[in-house]
Structure 1
């Protein structure tokens, strides 16, 4: 996706065009010929909501103004056009517990990064790879996948990129001219992307999907429930993704100058774990344990425990007296408040589309016939559709915001369980292999300068073609075993 030039006139033109589209959606009557499709009816409020959706889409695609500000403007327009009261539309998204989940995960990510624990884990695992370039690439991808399953994939990319850049500088690799340089930096993005689909904590679109499922379909998808699909899918595509990396960017060197013994010595030279690292490790393990054992605690306490509660509790422990040394003022800088605003505004927009009936109408108008397909073909088609749409939309979060409500309403309209098509859409929304601009996870390694946007897209297209049937097979297989299909 090409970013708009910074000239204010260009941005004002796009903003005016987007606003005109939104106003037309409010003023135009609903055409009689398309008002009813199947059992769905497009009302005046539904058409207005679709006009606001197009308003936000145009601004998201062009980045005329920041993503999160666009989301807030969409909420304001829905209120001004009378589709929903302002308090009502805000409460839909900003009253969702997913906000606390995201804050908790970002706090945990900040401590893992700032304490040095993430770097220690990375250096340890990479010290086991040896100096063969092919194994190093696999090591980077594996480390990225394993860590990003538990903290945001963007934070993991930020950990790995400096390690990879240091190796390339030691080897005298020239940016844009070395296949090994391209492959190593791309692995810093693709590894975390693979791990990001494994758990709800791995990527921004995951909690968005969980929030929509709860609000729209009444489905409480647990942490383990997500892992049942995400972990097998992530593990299955890890090796093929590495294989594509080796095929497209075959390293020009088989081994590094640095020996395996030297790499192991580098790990041994790390200072002993400081108190802050030990504290972070204990709280991280406690968080994972609480997530996995949630059903046990629900039974013992007799209450429902959403995925946000454990991580918010453990994130709070960091700030108890004498527990950690890092102050809130330092952690606060690592929390992407703009991402939180975007996610919550997106939930508000998606829920209004659902409540007005516009999402159901859109779903039946575009994908109404897929309910008759064989379940495997149905899952595969959803994966392909979302993968293609991600090329045109500007971020993983935006993709999830638009596609998840449509998939949930489509499932209800054709008589399917909400998870049957929402789960493949949710996993695919986080699989940003093609566009550098889809997520900061890709942008961070790109800034090192060792690969081009074309390099990334070339390999990413192949990975997407390879991974689509594999992810579909995993989801269908797990679904068959759990009675979903």
Structure 2
């Protein structure tokens, strides 16, 4: 059986990773000249760290093994190579941001378990009506909101069947036959096919865009938050991230909708006959809020309020004491998770809002991937790798700030089309942190837009899980996804670039 291109790349990467690491380790100099013209020793641990970075990046980019397996390499290799002791290495796999995501994942599973996400979706459709542009706008808005709190993969998996049902209703009203009978979307009906493409791709786009809004919305956000805290001592709280991510989301989402429905896939269809009835019937099937939904919604609301108000709560004092000084975003997330395991939904049957059978569906691999990325970032900081990279990047010092920023955002967006955005950010953050002072940029002005850019891959099915889910329906072809995605990529680059100056710099401060 012939190997696919991905399998051939993976096999080559499996060998190339350690070979490249070994070659780089022996090729790296023992000294280098820093930006001040001083000769500085480059330690054995520093050279080994850079070699391991090359190894892990190669395996991540070629997917030689599962990306979570690559993330375990530091535990075995760092102590052996003298990069970092085992205790310091494994501490990164228990970083606070990992528990922030763990609690967020439990909350998301509860939302899915009791159907609260589906209720949000149909409430939005009920509100916006059944005109094609309104349907696309409504589903994109609902998808983006849910994706702020639930993984973009789960959000897309939930929304795509809903959108397919609406498309099927529209097709039956126009032709008397549904998607199954047609064997797909009939391309001869341009208005209908454009509506279908815009609705399906809109879900993929909105799931990724919505993930920008909160720290737990997308794994790269969490990697960045932890990296800047351990490397620069700068803490980005939940509310502080929302001050950056929500404006990004609110600026990008309407532009994505406009491009999708007006320029890329315009449709002159009027209100979908039978659409209101379909939405009304599905809403009626949901009935009143069940006990599980009520409990989950209550925990969710309290958690969001605590995340947003934690800076004020930590400063609250009683009799000269601050009883909530130890409050943290991760602690709030775990308290929410514990509450879901404790709060009853049906006392008689002993059913609670969350149980361990459901919790076992947690994306544990993402948490391991976090740990590997944080371990790599910690090793680069501890062993002087940023100083060496900064010396190599001295030639970029003459670049205008705007040109350097635009180039890096563009590189991160298009690189993410072919690699895991979490692995990409874990690899690139230490490099970009070293590059920032060479370019005369505050670290935050470079790291934040670069991280956001890594979540804005819209062209390829492998770019993000939502892209893959929509492509997996078999209804969207590669040329359509690439053509539409290219415009979204370019729009995303522009939005991130502009809002870096308007939002990121004012929020984080010029010195960060």
Comparing 445-454 with 406-415, greater Cα deviation is found at: 406-415
Is 1:294 matched up with 2:310?
A: yes
Comparing 37-46 with 353-362, greater Cα deviation is found at: 37-46
Question: Using the alignment, how far apart are the partners of 1:27 and 1:81 within structure 2?
Answer: 13
2:289 paired residue number: 273
Comparing 256-265 with 426-435, greater Cα deviation is found at: 256-265
Is 1:204 matched up with 2:184?
A: no
1:459 paired residue number: 484
1:438 paired residue number: 463
2:409 paired residue number: 383
Question: Using the alignment, how far apart are the partners of 2:502 and 2:41 within structure 1?
Answer: 35
Conserved 8 A contact 1:354-1:409:
no
1:89 paired residue number: 89
Is 1:313 matched up with 2:340?
A: no
Question: Using the alignment, how far apart are the partners of 1:460 and 1:361 within structure 2?
Answer: 36
Question: Using the alignment, how far apart are the partners of 1:234 and 1:280 within structure 2?
Answer: 25
Conserved 8 A contact 2:144-2:206:
yes
Conserved 8 A contact 1:161-1:185:
yes
CA RMSD, Structure 1 to Structure 2 (Å): 2.7
1:168 paired residue number: 167
Cα distance 1:418–1:396, how it changes in 2: closer, same or farther (>3 A)?
Answer: same
Q: CA deviation at 1:105?
A: 0.8
Residues 211-248 of structure 1, C-alpha deviations (whole Å, 9 max, x = no match) = 00110110000111111111111101111111221222
Conserved 8 A contact 1:29-1:44:
no
Question: Using the alignment, how far apart are the partners of 1:226 and 1:288 within structure 2?
Answer: 13
Kindly name which structure, 1 or 2, has the bigger radius of gyration based on alpha carbons.
Answer: 2
2:190 paired residue number: none
1:68 paired residue number: 68
Give ranges in structure 2 of 5+ residues lacking alignment: 172-177, 188-192, 317-322, 346-350
Question: Using the alignment, how far apart are the partners of 2:246 and 2:395 within structure 1?
Answer: 30
Aligned pair partner of 2:352 in 303, 322, 325: 325
Question: Using the alignment, how far apart are the partners of 1:230 and 1:367 within structure 2?
Answer: 31
Question: Using the alignment, how far apart are the partners of 2:279 and 2:463 within structure 1?
Answer: 34
Residues 147-168 of structure 1, C-alpha deviations (whole Å, 9 max, x = no match) = 2223322222122111112223
Is 1:221 matched up with 2:220?
A: no
1:285 paired residue number: 301
TM-score of the superposition, structure 2-length normalised? 0.85
1:138 paired residue number: 137
Q: CA deviation at 1:186?
A: 1.3
Comparing 54-63 with 323-332, greater Cα deviation is found at: 323-332
Q: CA deviation at 1:289?
A: 0.4
Conserved 8 A contact 1:53-1:74:
no
Aligned pair partner of 2:274 in 245, 258, 265: 258
Q: Write out the 4+ residue segments of structure 1 that deviate beyond 6 Å after TM superposition.
A: none
Cα distance 1:41–1:234, how it changes in 2: closer, same or farther (>3 A)?
Answer: farther
Cα distance 1:322–1:260, how it changes in 2: closer, same or farther (>3 A)?
Answer: closer
Comparing 437-446 with 105-114, greater Cα deviation is found at: 437-446
Is 1:36 matched up with 2:28?
A: no
Cα distance 1:448–1:364, how it changes in 2: closer, same or farther (>3 A)?
Answer: farther
2:348 paired residue number: none
Cα distance 1:480–1:420, how it changes in 2: closer, same or farther (>3 A)?
Answer: closer
Q: CA deviation at 1:89?
A: 1.9
Aligned pair partner of 1:361 in 388, 397, 402: 388
Question: Using the alignment, how far apart are the partners of 2:269 and 2:41 within structure 1?
Answer: 61
Question: Using the alignment, how far apart are the partners of 1:469 and 1:11 within structure 2?
Answer: 33
Residues 424-473 of structure 1, C-alpha deviations (whole Å, 9 max, x = no match) = 11221222223321332322222222213442222121112122222222
Residues 63-101 of structure 1, C-alpha deviations (whole Å, 9 max, x = no match) = 22100101112442233222222332222x213111111
Question: Using the alignment, how far apart are the partners of 1:310 and 1:94 within structure 2?
Answer: 19
